[in-house]
Chain A
Amino acid sequence: MEHIRTTKVEQVKLLDRFSTSNKALTGTLYLTATHLLFIDSHQKETWILHHHIASVEKLALTTSGCPLVIQCKNFRIVHFIVPRERDCHDIYNSLLQLSKQAKYEDLYAFSYNPKQNDSERLRGWQLIDLAEEYKRMGVPNSNWQLSDANREYKICETYPRELYVPRIASKPIIVGSSKFRSKGRFPVLSYYHREKEAAVCRCSQPLSGFSARCLEDEHLLQAISKANPVNRYMYVMDTRPKHRMQSWWATQKDIGRIIVRISSKIWNDEKIRESHEQKRLNAMANRAAGKGYENEDNYSNIRFQFVGIENIHVMRSSLQKLLEVNGTKGLSVNDFYSGLESSGWLRHIKAVMDAAIFLTKAIMIENASVLVHCSDGWDRTSQVCSLGSLLLDSFYRTIRGFMVLIEKDWISFGHKFSERCGHLDSDPKEVSPVFTQFLECVWHLTEQFPQAFEFNEAFLLQIHEHIYSCQFGNFLGNCQKEREELKLKEKTYSLWPFLLDDQKKYLNPLYSPKSQAVAVLEPNTVSFNFKFWRNMYHQFDRTLHPRQSVFSIIMNMNEQNKQLENDIKDLESKIKQHKNKQTDGVLTKELLHSVRPESPTLKTSLCFKEQTLLPVNDALRTIEGSNPADNRYSEYAEEFSKSEPAVVSLEYGVARMTC
C-alpha cells in the first residue's frame, strides 16, 4: 500500500482513557492495509479497522513521546503515545489516508474474502427477499398492487425498483405526484397491517412552496385513504418540528414582502432587474420552492400532524456534545447529568419513539392509514416507519425479521448510509447518527420489554459495528440504484448470513414469542424510562461495564437445559431399546450412571472463566475487568503509597487529598 510508510512501531504506550494518572500499557503497534493493531505486553490484541476511524489527532509533543488520539465511529477512543515523533507522524499521515477513501472500490468490502464461493455468496444475498416480505404482509391484494413505474429508476432514483401503491393509482397520477415531491419520492407503501387493513406509507415533502398544489398528488393521497376500507381518514405525519416549519413560514412572509418591495422598485426603475437584490430574491424563492407541507384545505380526508424530530445537523451536534461529556476525565455525577441534558440526545430519542407510537396508535386505535414524511423522506421517515412497524409486528422483533426491517425501510428506501456514515471522504455535513438513533430506540424497547425480542443487545451492537465497517456490501452506497451500479452483489458479501451463522451469540434467552401481551408493543415514554446507553457509547471502556453478564449465564443455562433434555430423550430411547432387548433393569440403571459424568454442569462457572480461586498474582485476584486499579478510586492508591509526610506539611497534604 502506497500510504503506509511505517508498518511497525515498538514501545508504544496505550493510555487508559479515564485514568487521571498516566497509567499505560506498553506494546507494539502494527499498521496493516486494513487494520491498526496494537499488541500489549500481555499479548492482548486491539484491532482497529481503518474504516472505523472517525478522526486522528496528533497532540503536542510530551516528554514521553508524541500522543496520537484516534476516535472511532463505534465510539472507541484510543490514546497512544509513540516514542518518536517521526513514527507518529508517519502513522498519523497513513491513517488519515487510509481512513478516508475517495472511491467505493477502495473500501474493505471489495477486498474482504470470507472464503465463500460464488453460489454461497449469491445465496447470502438472496437470504432476505423483500417481495416475500410484502407477501407476508398481505400485498399485493385487492387494494394494493406492485407498480412497475420505477422499474428503470426513471421516476425516482433513490427508491427501489419495486414499489407498492394503491391499485386505483394510475401511472400518470404517480408520475405527477413524484414531480411534486422532493427528489421524486412520491407516497408508497412501507408497511401493510393485514388485520386492520391500514397502511403505513412514506414519501418526501411536497414542493408546495407558497401555495402550489398538485392534483395528482392529491389524488394519490386520496387513493391511499380509499385503500383503507375501514377508515377513510388518513394521517399525514410531518416528522419535522412544527416550530421549524413555522419559522420557515415566517421567512416566506419576509420573502413576500421583499417581492412586493422589489416589484415596486422594478415598476419604478427597470434597471434594477439585474441588481444584486434580484439575485438574492431568486435564490430565496428557489429555496422556498423546495419546502413545504400539505395544506389540509387541499387534501380531502387528511389529518395533518407535526411530530418534532430534529434534522440531521441537530442530531450530529447533539451526539458530539454527548461524546464530549462522556469523554471527560474525572466526570462527576452532576456534570454527567447536566451534560446529558444539554446534549439533548435522550430528548431526541424520545421524540423518535413518540412519533412511532403516534403512528402505531393511529393504526391500532383509529384504524387509519398513515403517511409519513420529513424533508427528503430518507432519515426521519425511515426511523418512524421502521420503528412503527417494529411496534406493530412481532415478526420484526425476531432476528431474521429485524434484518428484513432494515433491508426494507432503510436500505431499499434509500437511507443514505454512505453519506450518513461517512464511508467515503465526502461532505462532513452529511454525516449524522440517524441509524444509530434507530438502534438506540430499539434498545430502549428491549429494556422495556425484555421478553419481546428474539435478539439481544449484542446483535444491535454488531449491526452498528458493520454499518461503519464497510466489510460487507449491505450498507455501501446511498440507494439501490447506486448499489447495482457498484455491482455489490458480485463483488462483496452480505452481512446477514454471517450474523445468522453466529445466531447463538445474539439470542435473547428470555424471549417468549407466544406471549400474547407483546403482540403490539406500547412503550411508555415517560422521561425516566430513557437511559444513557452505556454499552453503546462506552462499548470499549470495559472498566465502566457490569462485571458479570446475566445474559451469558442464562444463555448458558438455557443451552444446558436443552442439552440435558436431549440427553434425557436419548437415554429414554436407549432404555426403550434395551427394554425391548432384555428385561433386565439393572443394566439401564448402570447406563444412566455412565452418562452422568458427561453432564455439562462442569461448564457452569462461565463467569469465572478468567479467574482462578488461588490468588496467584494480582490480575487473578478479581474478576477480569474488576480490579481496583481499573476504577477511578484507585487514584487514591497514590495517597496510600506516598511516604509519610512531615507533620508540618500534613495539612497541605490533606487539603490536596480532599480537593
Chain B
Amino acid sequence: MMFFFLFSVSGNASTPEFKKKKNSECLLRLRHEGLLNSCPAGVASCPASSCPFRSPRSPRLKLLESALLLGPRPTAGGMEFSELIRTGRAQAELLRGPGAPPLRGTLCVTGHHLLLSPGPQATSDLWLLLLRSVDSIEKRVAGDSGTITLRCKDLRVLQLDIEGVEATLDIARSIEALSSLESVITSFPFFYRPKGLRLGDAWHFHPPEHHYKRVARETNAWRLSEVNEDFSVCPSYPRAVIVPRAVDDDALARSARFRQGGRFPVLSYHHAPSGTVLLRSSQPLTGPQKRRCAEDEELLRAVLAGARPGARGFIVDTRSAQAAKQARMTGGGTEAKAAYPGWKRLHRPMERGRPLQESFVRLVEACGDLEQSMDRWLSRLEGCRWLAHVKEALSTACLAAQGMEREGACILVHGAEGTDSTLLVTSLAQLILDPLSRTMTGFQELVEREWIQAGHPFQLRCAHSAFSHARPKHEAPTFLLFLDCVWQLGRQFPLSLEFGEGLLLALFEHAYASPFGTFLCNSEKERCLCEVRTRTHSLWSGLNQPKEQRKLRNPLYVLNPLAIWPSVEPQSLRLWQGLFLRWTRPPEPSEAAWEKVWQIVTDKEKTEGSQPTVSASEPQP
C-alpha cells in the first residue's frame, strides 16, 4: 500500500549551528552531486536559513494525490520530513568493510541521505548514502557511544560508530523512519537534479512504437494497438501493445477480460529468421467451470495464421501441471487443449514469490559468513537453491528460444500473473536469439520494454532486499535472477555481450534504490499518474554518459550474429561472485586485470588508428 506524506518547507528551521566553512563545503559538494534543489528535509536539517534548497511546494501535489487513490492518506493534513529527523548531526566513524579505510567525520541525516563529512584534516570526499538503499538497521549502545549497523539493499554492510547514546538512538530512529517511506512522489528521484542532464531526456528512447517499427519492417501480420490508451483494459500494460493485425480492439478487450489482470497475449519478440513470434500473457481465467473465451481463442489462432505457414504453437506454462490445475479452483487455469487447436502446452515449473526471496536471503546469509568451513559453505550453497533457480530459468528460456529457432513454432509464455517468471523467460529468450538485444542500447531497450513497461511490479518486488527483517509481502528477486542469468550468458559467451558486469551491477543497485525514476512504481499507469517521466531523470540518460561507459562496457565485444545457446549443466553455472561477494572480498586483482584488458583493447584501437569507442584517458573511479 502506498500513502503520501506531504511536506512543507516552511517548518522547523531551528537546527543547530553549523560551522560556516564546513557548511559551504557541504553545499558545494551537494551542488556537484546534483542534489542541490534537493530534499525538503535537507532544507530542514540544513543549517543556514538562506539555504538555496528552498523550492515552493508543488501545487500539483494535491491534485496528484486525489488522482492517485492508492491508499489512505495521512490523517493530519501532511507530514514533514523534518519531523522524522530527530537529530541533525553527530560525530561518527564509518567502517566500510574490508579494503576501504574507515572514515571519521560529522554525520548528518537529511530527508533522503545520510551524509558523512570528514573533518578538515581529512582529504577524502564527502560520503553519501541514499537512505532508500538501507535495508535493515541495527543499533547497539555501550557506555557513551553507540554502533549502528546498516545493511544495504546492494548487499553492502556498513558500520557507524557514533559518539553519544542519545545521538545514536536518534539517528537510528531517523534512518529507520526515512528509509521505509513508501511514498513515491516524495522519493529522491523527484528531487534529484544532476548536472549535465536535462529532465525528460532519454525517457523516449524506447517507446513501444520504436519496437513496433522494427517488427513492421519484418512482417505485416502485426499492428500497434492503442486499446489500452487509458489503461482501462489492462492496468499493468503500457498504452500501446503489439497484437495480431487480424484482431480488432474489441476482441482484445474481451480477451483481456478472460485473462488475469487483463494481460491478454501480446507480442514480445518477432524472430525474423524463422518467422515465428514470442508472446506473453497471464493465465486464462478458466476457473472450475472451464470457461472459454472465443476472442482469446481467435487471438491465438490469428497468431498462428500470421506466422510462417504451417506453424504450430507452444504454450510454455511456468507452473507445474499440478499447480496450473489447482489454479482453476481460484479462478485461474490453463488453456484447454480442445479450445486452442495447433497449440500445445508445456509445463516448466519455476520458482517465484516467497520461495525465491527466501532463496536469495539464504544465499546472502551464506555469503556473509567468512569463517565457515568448506563443507558448510557448499551445503549452504546447495540448500539455498539459488543456482537451481538460475538453471531452471535459463533452461526454460532456452526451451522457448529453441522452439522458435529450431522448431519454427510460435511460443506463448505465461505463469499466473504474467509479470514475473513470464518476463524472465521472454527476456532471456530474446537475449539468446536476438543479437540486437545483446548490444548496449538493445539491452537497455529490452529491460525497458520487457520489464519496466511490461509491468513487472518493481516497487513491490524490490521494496526490500535480502537483509530486511520485515515480513516479506510481495518481495521477490525476479529481476535479480534475470540479471544473474544474463551474467551467466556473458560468462559463457564473453565476447557476445556489448555490456559488462558493471551494467548488471548498476541495474541491480538501481532497481532496489536509485536517484533515477526508471524503476519507480509498478506499472506504466502508476508512472503516468506520478508524472515520473517528466519529473524525474531516466536511468538510461545517467548511464549513457560517456564517463560511465568504461565501467559498463565489455571491451571484448564483437558482434555475434548468431544465437547463443548456453550450457545449463550445474558444472557450467557459477555463483555470481561479483554481486554476492562484492563487498566481502577484496576486488583489486580482478579489477586490475579488467583494467589491463581495457588497456590491451584500447591500445589495439589506438595502434590501428581506428576510432576508440571510449577514451583511454578516462580515469577509473
Contacts and interface: CB of A to CB of B under 8 A. Distances in A.
B571 interface: yes
A654 B367 CA distance: 38
Contact of A557 (B387, B568, B589, B600): B600
**Of listed A332, A515, A658, residue having the most chain B CB within 10 A:** A658
Contact of B375 (A344, A451, A543): A344
B119 interface: no
B399 A350 contact: no
Contacts of B391: 333
Contact of B558 (A605, A627, A639): A605
B105 to A, nearest CB: 29
Interface string A321-354: 0000010000111111110110010110010000
A38 B213 CA distance: 52
**Of listed A341, A451, A452, A528, residue having the most chain B CB within 10 A:** A528
B346 A451 contact: no
B346 A639 contact: yes
Q: Which of the four size classes fits the interface of chain B? A: 35 or more
The 7 closest A-B pairs by CB, nearest first: A337-B382, A336-B570, A527-B377, A341-B378, A450-B593, A333-B388, A347-B374
Interface string B90-132: 0000000000000000000000000000000000000000000
B376 interface: yes
Given A341-B379, A621-B562, A654-B345, A632 B569 contact: yes
Contact of A346 (B370, B374, B402): B374
B495 interface: yes
A553 B556 contact: yes
A334 B390 CA distance: 12
Interface string A635-649: 011011100100100
A640 B586 contact: no
A655 interface: yes
B406 interface: yes
B27 interface: no
B375 A341 contact: yes
Interface string A537-570: 0100001111111100110011011001100100
A394 to B, nearest CB: 14
Given A331-B571, A350-B374, A640-B403, 4 more contacts: A517-B588, A623-B560, A628-B565, A640-B407
Nearest to B325: A651
Interface stretch (B159-167, B469-477, B486-494): B486-494
Contacts of A544: 567, 569, 571-572
Interface in A608-652: 608, 611, 613, 615, 621-623, 626-628, 630-634, 636-637, 639-641, 644, 647, 650-651
Given A527-B373, A634-B402, A640-B409, A450 B567 contact: no
A560 B407 contact: no
Contacts of B590: 450
A658 to B, nearest CB: 5
Contacts of B68: none
Given A333-B573, A657-B346, A658-B321, A346 B378 contact: yes
Interface in B347-370: 347-349, 367, 370
Contacts of B390: 333
A570 to B, nearest CB: 13
B407 A637 contact: yes
A632 B494 CA distance: 21
A534 interface: yes
A529 B589 CA distance: 13
Contacts of B290: none
Contact of A449 (B387, B494, B589): B589
A627 B375 contact: no
Contact of B402 (A335, A545, A553, A633): A633
**Of listed A554, A565, A654, residue having the most chain B CB within 10 A:** A654
Contact of B568 (A337, A528, A632): A632
Nearest to A550: B494
Contacts of B572: 534, 544-546
Interface in A180-213: none
A561 B338 CA distance: 64
Contacts of B549: none
A549 B573 CA distance: 16
Contact of B589 (A344, A450, A613, A630): A450
B402 A636 contact: yes
Nearest to A622: B562
Interface in B504-529: none
A630 B575 contact: no
Contacts of A346: 374, 378
B402 A510 contact: no
B561 interface: yes
Nearest to B398: A633
Interface in B544-567: 556, 558, 560-567
B592 interface: yes
19 contacts: A331-B569, A333-B387, A337-B379, A338-B379, A341-B379, A528-B381, A528-B577, A532-B571, A545-B567, A548-B495, A561-B603, A565-B607, A622-B565, A626-B566, A628-B405, A631-B566, A631-B569, A633-B395, A636-B346
Contacts of B374: 341, 346-347, 350, 527, 530
A604 interface: yes
B570 A524 contact: no
Contacts of A326: 571
Contact of A341 (B347, B382, B491): B382
A20 interface: no
B385 interface: yes
B321 A655 contact: yes
A228 B586 CA distance: 34
Contacts of A230: none
A554 B598 CA distance: 10
B581 interface: yes
A530 B560 CA distance: 32
A126 interface: no
Contact of A543 (B367, B387, B567): B567
Contact of B491 (A527, A546, A640, A644): A546
Given A527-B372, A548-B495, A633-B399, A332 B570 contact: yes
Contacts of B382: 333-334, 337-338, 341
A448 interface: yes
Contact of A621 (B407, B563, B570): B563
Given A341-B382, A568-B607, A599-B608, A451 B589 contact: yes
A42 interface: no
B329 interface: no
Contact of A337 (B566, B567, B570): B570
A336 B492 contact: no
Given A534-B572, A544-B567, A647-B337, A340 B378 contact: yes
Contacts of B593: 450-451, 510
A515 to B, nearest CB: 7
